[in-house]
Amino acid sequence: MRLLVPRPWALARRAAASLALLLALAPPVLAQTTGSVLGRVTSAGDAQPVVGAQVFLVGTGLGTLTGAEGRFNIPNVTPGTYTLRVERIGSRTSEQQVTVRAGEQTTVTVTLTIEALGLDEIVVTGTAGAARRREIGNSISQINLAQIEEPPINVDALLQARAPGLNVLQSSASAGGGAMIRLRGNVSVAMSNQPIIYVDGVRIRSDGFAKNVPPVGFQGRSNNDVASPLNDVNPNDIERIEVIKGAAATTLYGTEAAAGVIQIFTKRGHQGTAQWTFQIDQGFNRVLPFGPDPGTGPAAEEAITESGGAGEFMFINPWLRNAVPLLGNDCRDSGETGYPIFCEQVSHRQKYSLSVSGGSDVLRYFVSGTLEDNLGVLPLDEEKKRVVRGNFTFSPLRNLEFQWNTSFTNTDLQNTPSGNNAHGLTLNAYRRNRNYQSSETRRAIDPLLKYDIDSKINHLITGATLTFSPSPTFTHRLTGGWDLSNADFRNLRPFGFALAPNGIISDRRFEYQNLTLDYVGSFNYRIQEELRTNFSWGGQSIVTDTRETTAYGETFPGPGEPTVSSAGTRLGFEERLRVVNAGFFFQNVLDFRDRYFLTAGVRVDGNSAFGENLGLQAYPKASFSWVLSDESFWPEDLGSVKLRTAWGQSGRAPGAFDAVRTWDPVGWGTAPAFFPRNVGNPDIGPERTTEIEVGFDGAFFDQRVTTEFTWYRQNTTDALFNVRQVPSQGFLNSQLKNVGELENKGVELSVNVDAIRRDNFGVAIGGSLSTNFSKVIDLGEAPEFSLGSFGYVSEGQPVPGIRSRCVLNADEIAAPIVARPDSLCDFGPNLPTHIIGGNLSITLPKGILVTARGEYQGGHYMYVGPSFNAVSRSVRWPGCFDFYKLQAENRANEATARKRAQCTVSGVLSDFFVSPADFFKMRDLTVSVPIPTRWIPRSSSAKLTLSARNFYRWVNGDFGVFEPEMGANEGFDTQVRSIQEHVPPPATYTASIRVVF
C-alpha cells in the first residue's frame, strides 16, 4: 500500500539539522575595526523590491545578492570611501559613493531604472561571442529566472508559454516523461525537429533517452514515454535561458541547428560573503477529469455487473469522477469492483534544495544540491532525483578567467505499463470487458501491475571555459565539455504474469556521450572615430558516441527473482553509433555610430554522416540592426525602437548510416546470413534551411509598453525523403535522398504593458501571438507518402498534413457519406498554426505578488486512436454516450452523420477519429508572499509561494474523450502527434518556502 502522506520527513529533518549547524558556524558579530554596508534595492516607478541584483564595492571583492525584500548586507568592510555598484539584467547599472566608518553601519537605498528594451543587455546564443542586444539583427528570446515567481517543476515546464514561436507539448502523465519542443514548426520529415541544447557552452543530448522496451516483440511493451536530458538541469540552478528560433540566427551552429538553439546559463558565484539559500517545495499532482460527465451517459453505464446486470460493482471507466478517490487510498484490496484507474489521482511531490554562493575577485563559487521524490498519478509511477552542481570562476590574472561548471544527476524512475501496450494497465482499462483479460474487474486487471519498468539514469554535464584577453580589443575563448549519460533499463514480466505466463525480461544498458570543443577569437578595431569593426573567427567539434547493449530472456523455470541467465531462451543485442561534426567560421560586425550594425559571416562544416562525394558545406549569414531611437530626429519621450533584419542558412544532418550500404544479419538454419537493407547514397548531405526574418523591438511611454514583432519565412531545400529503389538491385527498402523542399512562414508578436505602477500597487498585463503555416513545396523524386497516424507528406499540404477518409456530411442529420479510398480529405496541419499567450502580474501591498499565464493553441488536427480501438471492439465508449441514448430510444436517425459513423460498430473506420485539437490551458497561477525576516533568525529574506500549474483546460468539443497534450507511443519527439492509450498530463500544485541567509 502506498500512502501519499509525505514520507521522507527524515530527509527534511536532516536538511534542517544541517542548516542549523551551518548557522551555528556563521561568523560572529563584526569586529569594531570594520564597518558594514546595508540597504535596500527597489525599482523606479513602483518602489518594488528588486530580487537577485548583484551589489558590490568596486575593487574590493566584497559583495552580495539582494534577497526577497530587495535587502542586502556587506559586512567586514575596511573603513574608507567606495563605489557601490548594483547590477541586474533588464535594469541600468547604478553606482554611488559610500563612506564606511569603523564599528558603524552605512545604510543606503538604491533605485534601479528598468531598461525594458535592454539594448545594452549581453546575449551569447547565435553570436560569435558576447554581444549587445542592439548589435543583433535577429530575434532572440531571453528567460530570466529572477523574474519568474513560480517554482518550476522542470525545464520543460519552465519553457512553456514563455516566448512567441516556442511550443512545448507534454506527452503523457508518466513520471519523468519529457516534452516535445518546436521552434517555428517542423523543418524536416526524416530527422529530429528538437532544437539543439547547450548548458554553459556544452552541447547536451536534445532527443529523449532511449525507450525502456525489450528488443524482441511489439515495441509498445513499455510505459511508452521517455525521459528528457533537458530536465536533468535543476531549474533552481538556472540564471537565464536564451532561445533562437530559426536558421537566420543559428548559422554559426552549422549542420545540426536548423530547428533552433536553446542555451541554458546556470548561476555563478558573486563577490562577497557566502550567501546560503534553502528551499523546500511540497505539492501534489492531480489528474483533471476528462471525457464526458457520467451523468450524460445511459443509466446502465453508471453501475453494472460484469455480466451486464446492475448494482454489483462500479464500472471500469477512469472518466467517472465520483469513482476516483481523492487521496492515495489503496484501490486494489477487492477484486469484485470495477477498476478506477487513478488509485492515486492525487499524488505527493516534494523537493529540497540548498545552495551557497560567494567568493572574491579571484575565486567565485556556486554550489548546490537538490533532492526530489515525486509520485505519479498512475499506480506504479515514481521519480526520485538527486542533483549536485558546482560552478567555479577563477581569475588569477586581470586578463585571464577560468570557469568550470559541473552537474551530476541521478534519477530512479518506476513507471506503469501504459500507452498502446496490450500487457499494460491503461489500454486494458479503456477497453473494458473487451480487453485482453476479457474482464474489467479489478481482480482481472490488478495482475497487470506485476510488471516492472524501472530506469536508473546517471547524467554528468561538465565543461571548462578559458577566456584570455591580452588586450581589451583582442580576446580568445576556449570551451571543452563532456555530456555523459548512463542508463540501466529493466523491463520485467515475471513468471506467472497474466498475459505472458512464462515470463519475459530485458536488461538494457544505454550509454551516450557528447564531447564539445569550441574556440572563438575576436578582434575589435576602431577604423574611424564613428566606425568600428569586430572580426571573429573560430572552430567547433562535436563528437557523439552512443552504445546500447541488451540482454533478453524469456521462459523462466518458475517463480523467484529472475535474471536473464535464468531464462530458458536468451538473446543478446549490441548497437554502436559514432557521429563527428566539425566546422569553422568567420564573422565581421561593422558598427557605425553605435546605432547601425551590419553583420556578415559564414560557417563551413563537415560531418561523418555526409556521403563520400559531398565534401564540406558552407552556411552564410547576414543581418542588419538600426537603433532608430538613437537618431537626433527621434523624440526622446517617444521611447526606444530597434529595427532589424536577418538572413541565414543552417542544416540538419542525415542519419549516421544513411550514406552507406548496409545489411541486416539474420540466421538461415544454423548458418549465418544477411538481408540487403540500405542501398547507400554517396551523394547524401544535410537538409539546408534558409530563413529571412524582419522585425522590430520597441519600448514606449516611459518604458511602460514593450513590444517585439517578427515576420519570418523558412525554406528547407534538399529535404530528405525516402525514394524507391530499382528492385533488381536486390535492395527493397527505400533510400533517403535530398530531393524535397519545405516551407514555414509566420509572425511572432509580444506586447507587455505596465498598466499601473505605484508604490504599493501595480498591474502588468501582456500577450503574445505566434503563427506558423507550413507547406510541402516539392516532393522531387519521391511520391506522396505517409508518416503514420494519418500524417502525410503531399505537395501543397502542411508538414505534415492530416488526411483520411472523412465523413463528407459530418454535421448533417443524415446517414454518413464516406469519402472514397482514392479521394482522401485534407483536414489541416498536425502542429498548431497559431498560439496565443497571455500573462498578468498584480503587485499588492506588503510585497505580495500574483502572476498568471495562459496559452491557447489551435488550427491543428490529431488522430484519436483509443476511441477507434475501443469502438471497433464493441466497447461502450464515453465519446458515444449521446448516441447510445438516442439508440436506446430508437432515435438513432436523429444523430449527426459523424456520430453515426463513429459509434456504429459495423461500419466504423479509424479514419473517422481525426479531430480538431484546439485547446486552452492555464499554465500557472502563482501567489508569492514575503515572510518577515524577524520570523527566521539570521535570514536576509524569505518568501512563501503558492502555485497551481495546468489546473484548468478547455478542449475543442469535437476532440472527444482525451486532450491534445497526449503524445504517441515513441515518446515526445515524433513526426506525427496522435493520441494513444495514455493518461493526460496532470495539474500540479506546489507550496514553496525559500529562505536566504
Q: What are phi and psi of 566, to 5 degrees?
A: -85, -5
pLDDT category of residue 292 using cuts at 50, 70 and 90 = low
Strands 35-43 and 105-112: parallel
Strands 131-132 and 122-123: antiparallel
pLDDT category of residue 668 using cuts at 50, 70 and 90 = low
Closest to 595 in 3D by CA, of 531, 647, 501? 531
- Collect all residues with Cβ–Cβ distance below 8 Å to 404 and sequence separation of at least 6: 390, 391, 392, 394, 462, 463, 464
Report how many helices (DSSP H) and strands (DSSP E) the chain contains, helices first.
Answer: 8, 50
Instruction: Kindly state the cell numbers that stand for 563.
Output: 535474471
CA 696 to chain centre: 27
Answer yes or no: is pLDDT of 67 > 90: no
Q: pLDDT, tens digit, for every residue of 612-628?
A: 999 899 999 999 999 99
Instruction: Kindly state the cell numbers that stand for 284.
Output: 501534489
What pLDDT is attached to residue 323?
32
Cα 986 to Cα 61: distance, rounded to the nearest angstrom:
47
Closest to 712 in 3D by CA, of 393, 176, 249, 181? 249
CA 633 to chain centre: 44
User: Of the ranges 6-15, 87-96, 139-148, 964-973, which is most confident?
Assistant: 139-148
What pLDDT is attached to residue 70?
79
Residue whose entry in the numeric block shows the C-alpha cell 511489439 = 218
Answer yes or no: is pLDDT of 485 > 50: yes
What pLDDT is attached to residue 19?
43
Instruction: Kindly state the cell numbers that stand for 802.
Output: 492530416
Q: What are phi and psi of 289, to 5 degrees?
A: -55, 140
Query: CA neighbours within 13 Å on the CB side: how many for 364?
Result: 17
Instruction: Kindly state the cell numbers that stand for 726.
Output: 530499382
What pLDDT is attached to residue 312?
26
Instruction: Kindly state the cell numbers that stand for 183.
Output: 521552434
DSSP 829-892: ESS-SEEEEEEEEEE-GGG-EEEEEEEEEES-EEEBHHHHHHHTTT---GGGHHHHHHHHTT-G
Q: Give bridge partners of residue 981 from the DSSP assignment.
A: none
Query: CA neighbours within 13 Å on the CB side: how many for 475?
Result: 20
**Which ranges of 395-493 does DSSP label H, i.e. alpha helix?**
425-430, 442-445
Give the three-state DSSP class for 776: strand
Instruction: Kindly state the cell numbers that stand for 90.
Output: 533588464
What pLDDT is attached to residue 116?
65
Q: Which of 100-109, 521-530, 965-974 has the lowest mean pLDDT?
A: 965-974
Answer yes or no: is pLDDT of 1 > 50: no
Cα 931 to Cα 995: distance, rounded to the nearest angstrom:
9
Alpha carbon dihedral 56, 62, 67, 73, in 10-degree steps, equals -100
The single-letter DSSP state of residue 986 is P
What pLDDT is attached to residue 698?
94
Answer yes or no: is pLDDT of 7 > 70: no
Compute the Cα dihedral for 214, 215, 216, 220 and give only its sign: positive
What pLDDT is attached to residue 54?
80
Residue whose entry in the numeric block shows the C-alpha cell 574590493 = 60
Quick check: 596 and 626 in contact, CB under 8 A?
A: yes
Q: Give bridge partners of residue 736 from the DSSP assignment.
A: 722
Query: Which H helix or E strand runs over 12?
Result: helix 9-24
- Collect all residues with Cβ–Cβ distance below 8 Å to 186 and sequence separation of at least 6: 193, 742, 744, 774, 799, 800, 831, 975
What pLDDT is attached to residue 662?
79
Q: pLDDT, tens digit, for every residue of 569-605?
A: 999 999 999 999 999 999 999 999 999 999 999 999 9
What pLDDT is attached to residue 89?
65
Give the three-state DSSP class for 574: strand
Cα 527 to Cα 469: distance, rounded to the nearest angstrom:
20
Q: What are phi and psi of 620, to 5 degrees?
A: -85, 165
The single-letter DSSP state of residue 630 is G
Q: pLDDT, tens digit, for every residue of 417-452?
A: 999 999 999 999 888 889 999 988 888 888 999 999
Give the three-state DSSP class for 395: strand
Strands 261-266 and 196-199: parallel
Cα 699 to Cα 712: distance, rounded to the nearest angstrom:
22
What pLDDT is attached to residue 61?
67
Q: Rounded to whole angstroms, what are the CA distances from 263 to 231, 299, 423, 483, 773?
A: 13, 55, 40, 14, 26
Q: What is the mean pLDDT of residues 697-725?
A: 92
Closest to 271 in 3D by CA, of 209, 396, 341, 361? 361
Of the two residues 302 and 328, the one the predictor is more confident about is 302
Is residue 27 packed enough to be buried (19+ CB in 10 Å), middle (13-18) or exposed (0-12)?
exposed
The single-letter DSSP state of residue 609 is T
**Mean pLDDT of all residues belonging to the chain:** 87
What pLDDT is attached to residue 663?
79
Cα 630 to Cα 802: distance, rounded to the nearest angstrom:
49
Q: Which of 221-230, 304-313, 402-411, 660-669 has the lowest mean pLDDT?
A: 304-313
Q: Which of 389-398, 713-722, 731-740, 984-993 has the lowest mean pLDDT?
A: 731-740
Cα 514 to Cα 542: distance, rounded to the nearest angstrom:
7
The single-letter DSSP state of residue 146 is G
Is residue 929 packed enough to be buried (19+ CB in 10 Å), middle (13-18) or exposed (0-12)?
middle
Give the three-state DSSP class for 230: helix
Answer yes or no: is pLDDT of 931 > 60: yes
Quick check: 394 and 362 in contact, CB under 8 A?
A: yes
Query: CA neighbours within 13 Å on the CB side: how many for 817?
Result: 7
Q: What are phi and psi of 260, to 5 degrees?
A: 105, 170
Cα 266 to Cα 803: distance, rounded to the nearest angstrom:
44
Answer yes or no: is pLDDT of 23 > 60: no
What pLDDT is attached to residue 9?
43
- Collect all residues with Cβ–Cβ distance below 8 Å to 709 and sequence separation of at least 6: 695, 696, 747, 748, 749
pLDDT category of residue 330 using cuts at 50, 70 and 90 = very low
Instruction: Kindly state the cell numbers that stand for 708.
Output: 517585439
What pLDDT is attached to residue 573?
93
Q: pLDDT, tens digit, for every residue of 858-899?
A: 999 999 999 999 999 999 888 898 899 999 999 999 999 999
HEC assignment per residue over 896-964: CHHHHHHHCHHHCCHHHHEEECCEEEEEEEEEEEECCHHHCCCCCEEEEEEEEECCCEEECCCCCCCCC
Percentage helix, strand, coil for the chain under 3-state DSSP, each rounded to 5: 10, 50, 40
Instruction: Kindly state the cell numbers that stand for 560.
Output: 523467484
Q: How many residues does the chain have?
A: 997
Compute the Cα dihedral for 791, 793, 798, 800 and give only its sign: positive
pLDDT category of residue 25 using cuts at 50, 70 and 90 = very low
User: Of the ranges 335-349, 591-605, 658-672, which is most confident?
Assistant: 591-605
Query: CA neighbours within 13 Å on the CB side: how many for 419?
Result: 28
Answer yes or no: is pLDDT of 317 > 70: no
What pLDDT is attached to residue 343?
43
Residue whose entry in the numeric block shows the C-alpha cell 495514455 = 982
Strands 504-528 and 531-554: antiparallel
**Cis previous bond, 800, omega within 30:** yes
Q: Give bridge partners of residue 858 from the DSSP assignment.
A: 834
Cα 737 to Cα 613: distance, rounded to the nearest angstrom:
13
pLDDT category of residue 296 using cuts at 50, 70 and 90 = low
Q: pLDDT, tens digit, for every residue of 550-569?
A: 999 999 999 989 999 999 99
Answer yes or no: is pLDDT of 920 > 90: yes
Angle at 696 between CA 695 and CA 697, to 5 degrees: 140
Cα 417 to Cα 379: distance, rounded to the nearest angstrom:
10
Give the three-state DSSP class for 428: helix
Of the two residues 744 and 272, the one the predictor is more confident about is 744
Of the two residues 524 and 361, the one the predictor is more confident about is 524
Instruction: Kindly state the cell numbers that stand for 341.
Output: 484507474
CA 16 to chain centre: 32
The single-letter DSSP state of residue 22 is H
